[in-house]
Amino acid sequence: MSVFRRIDHVEIIPSDLDRSLAFYMDVLGFTLRDRWTVGVPPLRDVLFLELGDTVLEVLEFDDPAPPVVVEGPRVGYRMMALEVDSMDDALAYLAERGIEPTRPPYPSGTGLRAEIVDPDGLAIEVRQWGATPASPE
């Protein structure tokens, strides 16, 4: 038996809070669970966004440094993943909102995987478990 229950949340710092909230809430369907003003510079606000039973913590800081761009694999957290029932439906939905995959769907383990990025370029995996790739026609 483990003393740990689950991952409680993943935390991000966006460069533009409103732009990121529009993406995560209006496009990806997260809802606002809680928000409070900290007011201790450089931290302004802390927000918790929910999607199903998962939580994304969004921290608003004064003038955060831009993300570090590193080519190739590196040590550290790489991305979050969103599970979908249908890869085709998810990608069509995203395309209607002007979001194209940065990595198109491909077989991965026992499913399909694609990748998109948020407004700051943070990677997000789109995962359909149990899917098999369409056969070429």
pLDDT at residue number 134: 55
Q: Give dist(CA 35, CA 58) in Å, integer.
A: 9
Q: Give dist(CA 108, CA 39) in Å, integer.
A: 44
* 95 has pLDDT over 60: yes
DSSP helix/strand/coil, 108: strand
> What are the backbone dihedrals phi and psi of residue 97, each rounded to the nearest 5 degrees, phi first?
-105, 15
Region 92-110: what's the mean pLDDT? 97
Domains parsed from the chain with CATH numbers: 1-62 (3.10.180.10), 78-137 (3.10.180.10)
Q: What is the pTM of this model?
A: 0.90
- The token duo for 86 is 């249908």
* pLDDT tens track for 59-93: 999 999 998 888 888 888 889 999 999 999 999 99
DSSP helix/strand/coil, 114: strand
pLDDT at residue number 135: 46
What is the per-residue DSSP string for 14-52? Answer: -SSHHHHHIIIIIIT--EEEEEEEEEETTEEEEEEEEET
* pLDDT tens track for 21-31: 999 999 999 99
* pLDDT tens track for 45-61: 999 999 999 999 999 99
